[in-house]
Amino acid sequence: MKSSITDGPIFVRRNSIKTPLIMAHRGGNVLAPQNSIPAFERSCALGVWALESDIRFTKDGVPVCIHDADVDRMTDGEGKVSSFTYAELLEFRIDVGVFSDSLPRELLRIPTMDEYFDICMYYGTVPFIELKEDEGTDVVVRGLRRRSLESHAVVSSAKFERLEETRRLSDSVFIHHIFSSEERIPDLCELGYAGLSFKIADPDAAPPDLVGRVHEAGLRICLRAADDPETVKKMIKMGLDYQPSNCVFGL
């Protein structure tokens, strides 16, 4: 197992009260509907460290930013994302979430992964990609490589196999295991340049030596979303390396 944490371009700044490494979960869904272009742009403009989005694929293989497997909850359409071509998906509009009734309709289409990458590049924000599908990891890695973002991005998944595949495809992208466990620490160490999150919402509920054990193994760590400034500060003080949030974008 590794004994020191490997740094990379996305960790030039250390997580601190002065420079919190906050990741806008689902693009920042208190600023605009989740995983929408307005949410991406507003979060990045506020200076978040990373912008998280979920990647799924259309029937014709276009990677798009949407959390659910279907469009029912978030749009005025119905059906699975994978059952539509990208051209067909463009007919739907996001109609759930804050400001969904006041934002220009053309901005509330489901974004492509390329549009998401473009916004991250414009603001210098780290793309924090969650792989939602069992296929298409290679498409995501190629997309990062095409934009020279490979060493400036995070690829995450709750499915460990997707992270193994990501590491086979890329030595330089940071990988993150969602809702992990201590049993996965040796496996992540083998993959290298990795982090993990634990399904713990209250930092006071975390084992007191958890952060130290993860760091000693050479990995980075976060917990569940921190949705108020005090929780963000508490997570920073306990030594977490970054923190997802739905609504806190600075301190």
Domains and CATH numbers, the chain: 9-245 (3.20.20.190)
Q: Are 43 and 249 in contact (CB under 8 A)?
A: yes
Please tell me the pTM assigned to this model.
Answer: 0.96
The 10 Å CB-count burial string (b at 16+, else e) for 160-186 is: bebbbbbbebbeebbbbbbebeeebbe
- Report DSSP state, residue 175: E
Q: How confident is the model at residue 1 (pLDDT cuts 50, 70, 90)?
A: very low
Q: How confident is the model at residue 59 (pLDDT cuts 50, 70, 90)?
A: very high
Q: Within a 10 A sphere around the Cβ of 80, how many other Cβ atoms?
A: 14
pLDDT in tens, 64-123: 999 999 999 999 999 999 999 999 999 999 999 999 999 999 999 999 999 999 999 999
